């Protein structure tokens, strides 16, 4: 037998009657304690001043809505010295003031909104017997997210994209609790600095090697130690190796070009890009010739190694299609190219002198970006005055003897940093061919294995010697990578010796992207933050 006490939302409610209305909903009539306690002086009183009925929605029963009609009394305070003359019953255990549903139902709405979002939670709750709109569900979630999360000692910080290559936000993770602390609307240095200043308890900051969060950490949390992400360090090394192997041409694994067509000068990235452009032209000519012979796109793909769709796309053009370039922004020095050329012709050649001039016009980038633009202009002037310093060097692509295809720079870089014990027979054969055909690969392979040993050994003492040896190789991408490590030496040392990394941040960003796409990209920063933060009652 089910008694009236089973209908009570809390033990403090005394149920008087349970009935079913004409619409099928259950109505539970109840009242609170037979006396009241003044919240001001604590005096108990049984003198009633008046009463009212409060109607609150509770959990459904048997698929029908349940309404609680509470008899809320107003009492007289018997203490003559108290400022209050009357006071009302406190039903905080049942519902918050002015709420239209019980606290436990509001908690359920917050759970559903956090897990499923607005519209899916609305559909599911209707099947359970709770009729509520998606806007109400999301408002309950936003109220629950206003609770301040606990303080964090060790955090990870990373960026994520609102729209790729356009707008970015910042996510902050508590690495000890493995939970999101905050989601910032942008990735501006000032915003991150202000957030860190509001949290002086931070002791360790794990970040990637982007130069954006390093100054924010130095300014906002000078007491904290910075830790560079080990994954991004290894990734930067692989990209440097790939850039060096690009000097052998970028045929991407297809044996289409002659050795003499992959032209590059020593350690010159610009000439490597020109060689890549010429390679694309030769590839386009080869595909066009095969098409004129009457071959289908599938047959051309089998002969050249290109995907059929890529072949069909290229055949739609009369010349090789140009790569799409991003729209210039104020963070790029090229945005102010015309003004910089005027100042350059007027004799202002120093980057330090030109930087404040373009900053007055809205430049948001760094001095190093401006220096790279000016360095290209200086090289062009020097070549016009003195001519080329030495003849172009022809680097033959390294080919796999089994297939005759050139080994792509991407594959060469991946094999360069991979330990020998994890090679397959085919990969081991390619590494031996790369060592024979490229002395630079042999040097980079030796440096990469030493660097992996330093990372796995968790000892940073050999790092300065490794940086010196990498700089002495005269391989421009490797030298640039080593100098970048030297500029961020403290964070790299901490990455080697400490256990913290940004892996958790990357995982939370994947979850954020899933939630953002599930909400069709319409979620603002407050709602996205509410769904990313853990609910306070689940901590």
Q: Provide DSSP, 231-298.
A: HHHHHHHHHHHHHHHGGG---TT---S-GGG-EE-TT-HHHHHHHHHHHHHHHHHHHHHHHHTT--HH
Residue 272 pLDDT: 52
**Residue 45, Cβ neighbours under 10 Å: how many?**
17
Query: pLDDT band at 392, cuts 50/70/90?
Result: very low
Residues 421-426 have a mean pLDDT of 90
171-184 pLDDT, tens digit per residue, is 999 999 999 999 99
Considering only 162-176, 253-267, 406-420, 473-487, which range has the smallest mean pLDDT? 253-267
**DSSP H or E segment with residue 106:** helix 103-116
Residue 395 pLDDT: 62
Say what percent of the chain tops pLDDT 90. 24
Q: Is the pLDDT at 133 greater than 80, yes or no?
A: yes
Residue 471 pLDDT: 92
Residues 85-101 have a mean pLDDT of 80
335-387 pLDDT, tens digit per residue, is 888 889 888 888 888 888 899 889 888 888 888 888 888 888 888 887 777 75
Token digits of residue 151 = 């303080």
Burial of 454 (0-12, 13-18, 19+ CB in 10 A): middle
**DSSP H or E segment with residue 134:** helix 134-144
Contacts of 17 (CB under 8 A, 6+ apart): 4, 28, 29
238-266 pLDDT, tens digit per residue, is 999 998 888 765 544 333 333 333 333 33
Considering only 146-160, 180-194, 245-259, 435-449, which range has the smallest mean pLDDT? 245-259
Report which of 12, 162, 149 is spatially closest to residue 72, judged by C-alpha positions: 12
**Residue 51, Cβ neighbours under 10 Å: how many?**
14
456-471 pLDDT, tens digit per residue, is 998 999 999 999 999 9
Considering only 219-223, 487-491, 535-539, which range has the smallest mean pLDDT? 535-539
């Amino acid at each position: 037998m089910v008694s009236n006490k089973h209908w009570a939302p809390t033990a403090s409610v005394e149920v008087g009657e349970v009935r079913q209305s004409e619409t099928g909903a259950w109505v539970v009539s109840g009242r609170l304690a037979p006396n009241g306690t003044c919240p001001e002086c604590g005096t108990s009183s049984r003198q009633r001043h008046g009463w009212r009925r409060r109607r609150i929605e509770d959990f459904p029963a048997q698929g029908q809505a349940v309404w609680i009609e509470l008899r809320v009394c107003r009492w007289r305070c018997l203490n003559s010295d108290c400022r209050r003359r009357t006071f009302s019953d406190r039903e905080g255990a049942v519902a918050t003031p002015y709420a239209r549903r019980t606290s436990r139902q509001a908690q359920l709405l917050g759970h559903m909104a956090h897990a499923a979002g607005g519209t899916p939670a609305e559909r599911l709750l209707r099947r359970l017997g709770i009729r509520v709109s998606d806007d109400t569900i999301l408002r309950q979630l936003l109220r629950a997210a206003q609770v301040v999360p606990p303080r964090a000692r060790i955090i990870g910080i990373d960026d994520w994209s609102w729209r790729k290559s356009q707008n970015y936000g910042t996510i902050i993770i508590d690495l000890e609790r493995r939970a999101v602390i905050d989601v910032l609307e942008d990735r501006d240095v000032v915003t991150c600095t202000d957030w860190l200043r509001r949290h002086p308890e931070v002791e360790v900051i794990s970040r990637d090697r982007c130069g954006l969060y390093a100054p924010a950490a130095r300014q906002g949390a000078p007491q904290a130690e910075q830790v560079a992400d080990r994954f991004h360090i290894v990734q930067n090394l692989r990209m440097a190796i790939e850039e060096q192997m690009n000097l052998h041409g970028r045929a991407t694994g297809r044996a289409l070009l002659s050795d003499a067509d992959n032209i590059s000068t020593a350690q010159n990235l610009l000439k490597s890009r020109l060689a890549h452009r010429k390679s694309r032209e030769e590839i386009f000519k080869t595909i066009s010739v095969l098409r004129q012979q009457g071959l289908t796109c599938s047959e051309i793909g089998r002969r050249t190694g290109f995907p059929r769709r890529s072949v069909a796309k290229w055949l739609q053009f009369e010349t090789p299609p140009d790569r799409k370039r991003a729209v210039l922004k104020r963070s790029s020095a090229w945005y102010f190219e015309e003004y910089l050329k005027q100042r350059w012709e007027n004799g202002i050649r120093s980057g330090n002198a030109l930087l404040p001039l373009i900053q007055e016009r809205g430049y948001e980038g760094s001095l190093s970006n401006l220096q790279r633009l000016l360095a290209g202009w200086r090289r062009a002037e020097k070549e016009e005055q003195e001519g080329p310093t030495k003849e172009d060097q022809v680097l033959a692509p390294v080919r796999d003897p089994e297939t005759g295809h050139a080994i792509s720079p991407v594959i060469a870089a991946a094999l360069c940093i991979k330990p020998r014990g994890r090679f397959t027979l085919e990969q081991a054969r390619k590494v031996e061919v790369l060592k024979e055909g490229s002395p630079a690969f042999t040097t980079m392979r030796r440096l990469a294995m030493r660097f992996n040993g330093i990372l796995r050994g968790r000892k940073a003492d050999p790092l300065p010697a490794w940086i010196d040896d990498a700089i002495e190789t005269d391989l421009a991408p490797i030298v640039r990578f080593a100098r970048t490590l030297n500029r961020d030496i403290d964070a790299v040392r901490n990455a080697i010796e400490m256990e913290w990394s940004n892996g958790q941040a990357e995982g939370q960003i994947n979850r954020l992207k899933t939630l953002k796409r599930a909400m069709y990209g319409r979620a603002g920063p407050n709602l996205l933050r509410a769904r990313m933060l853990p609910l306070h009652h689940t901590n």
